Amino acid sequence: MSDDGVGQDGAEAVRAAWGRIDRWLREWAPGSYARLAPPAGPEAIAAAEAALRLRFPAELRASLGCHDGAGGEGVLPVKPPLSAAGIVRYWTRWMELTEEEREFGDPEEEGEPSWHPRWIPWAESDGDAQIVDGREGPGFGRLGMKYHDEEGSFGDEAPSLASYLTEVAEVLEGGGSVGGRVPYVAVSGVVWWAEKPAARPER
C-alpha cells in the first residue's frame, strides 16, 4: 500500500497523539517519560523494513520517528513499544519458529494463523506482542495481538495505531479507560494501567 493521503493523515495523527502523551507524562509521570527512547533515525527504520522485506505502514514509521521503543512497562496500557531493532528480533524469532511448518494461513479459511510474515510486531513483553497487520487489503494497518502460545487475533473493530494512541492521549488527559484499563501514577512517577473494577450490582 502506498503512502497516500490517508496514510499521511494517520501519520500526522500518530505524531499529534505522541505529542500529547509526552506532555502529560512529562508533567504527571516523569518516571514513565524517562522510559521512552529518542526517535529512531531514518536509517534504523529503513534497515528494519529491509530485514522484514516490506515497507512499514506510515503510522508505524511515524511512531518510530517519535520514539524508538520504550525501556519496559509503565507507558502504554497494553504492551511497551518496541524499537526498530526489537521489531526485527521478534519478527525473526517467529519466522524461525515457523520455518518448518510455514503455516501462514489460507485466505479462504476463517481464523488467523500462528504467524504471518506480514505481521509487524509493534509492542511486546513476555513474548506476547501487539502486531500491526501489514497484509494488503481492508485490514491493513490494524492492531491485533499475537500471544506466544496462540494464533494471532484481531478484534471486530481492531483499531489503527493512530486511533489507539489517540485514545491513550484522551484518557490520560481527561480520564476513562483504554480497553478496560485505567491509568494511575505510582509514587515512583510511573503510570500503570490497572483493570477497571467491575461495577457493583445494584441492591
How crowded is the C-beta side of 153, counted as CA atoms within 13 Å? 9
Question: Which residues on neighbouring strands pair with residue 119, listed in sequence order?
Answer: 133
Q: Looking at residue 47, what is its pLDDT? A: 98
Cα separation, 131 vs 124, whole angstroms: 9
Average pLDDT per 10 consecutive residues for the chain, totaling 203 residues? 59 97 97 97 97 95 97 92 97 85 53 88 94 91 90 84 96 94 94 77 53
What is the Cα 57 distance to its own chain's centre? 12
* Structural contact between residues 39 and 63, judged by C-beta atoms closer than 8 angstroms: no
Q: Looking at residue 6, what is its pLDDT? A: 44
Q: Looking at residue 2, what is its pLDDT? A: 42
Q: Looking at residue 4, what is its pLDDT? A: 44
Q: Looking at residue 152, what is its pLDDT? A: 86
What is the Cα 167 distance to its own chain's centre? 13
Q: Rounded to the nearest 5°, which phi and psi values hold at 191?
A: -85, 130
Instruction: Note the pLDDT tens digit of each residue in 145-203.
Output: 999 888 888 987 778 999 999 999 999 999 999 989 999 999 999 999 998 765 555 55
Beta strand spans in the chain (E): 119-125, 128-133, 143-146, 152-153, 181-185, 191-195
Q: Looking at residue 110, what is its pLDDT? A: 61
Q: Which of 176, 163, 100, 171 is nearest to 132 (CA)?
A: 163
Q: Rounded to the nearest 5°, which phi and psi values hold at 51?
A: -65, -40
